[in-house]
Structure 1
Amino acid sequence: MEWHELLADVEAQAESWAERDRQLVVADQTRLERRFIAASQHFAGSLHALISCTMRGGERREGHVEAVGANWILLTDPHSHNESIVALEQVLTVKGLTQRARTISASPIVASLDLMWVLQRISRERSHVRCDVLGGVGISGVIDEVGADYVVVSGDGQQLVMGTSIVSITRL
């Protein structure tokens, strides 16, 4: 083997090793960056996508992602077109999300608006809703009061509902 061939072979091997190292570094950086992506950012990257969620109680929620907040999503049912606010803490698995992730909003204030803030706005409207809670219970009525960690729904009497038990709120 000529020396120039030997040197060309060594150079090709070195370039191959360097490329493999670059690929490993990129893969490691990608894995590290993913650690800082919240599930809500995947929902935000999937606006208008049709998704199916399995909830803590085993029930399913299906709909198009219309809006995303800090700990909630707004889904529109593809058949009835009913709108539901779904609490992300009650979601176990999701099908249909795209691989894109994006920030919820350019405004940190908007991005931090949580479920209780949304329920306060719904309460102001005096909308008739169905509040689905853990255990498969559905409570229909109007949200009269929103506290730090609870809502009061008036329908068939008044019921205090703990915020952590809310699965979804659907406009009726």
Structure 2
Amino acid sequence: MKKYNHTTYAILGILTTGCRSGYAIKQLIDNSLKHFWKISYGQIYPTLKLIVEEELATVRSSAQEGKPVRKEYYLTPKGEEALRDWLEKPIEQAPVERNEMLLKLFFGRHQSKESTLLHLNDYKKKLENRYQTYSSIEQMISTHEQNQQDATYWLFTLDYGKRITKAAIDWCESTIKQISNWED
């Protein structure tokens, strides 16, 4: 079976959730996947075109009164097989995080203590906001998506995000405390 990039597999997976249009796919990405997998709007339509060309999905046009014709995408058996095949394979590597805060801290000797503490406190606030967002999403899934077969798996990925974010908040607090105790 041909190997595709991760964006292709992500969109094949999204098509299993009932999202059928490019717009609906983008909404799902913005509301859930973006927290752990980034796909730009500019990647969606070329990928949809590719999966139709590769016969992994079909496209149907649906007319809407007073609106432009909407293209809806449906997985084919070949697309389902490609997705299942990819899901069964082991991950290729552990992800490497790009983190501007860690990069600045790595070179922190070249900035003032105050600036370092300001960056750390700002980062901690951003993480706390992210944690609140995750908690809100968790509440929404738990109350509105109980009948969704995917909801349990969505909650697993959300739990990962919450735990990683909580650990990062704890790290911020510890690092801020240590740096604050340094003598000038």
Structure with bigger helix share is: 2
Same fold at TM > 0.5: no
Find the structure with the greater CA-based Rg: 1
Greater fraction of residues in strand: 1
Name the TM tier (shorter chain): under 0.3
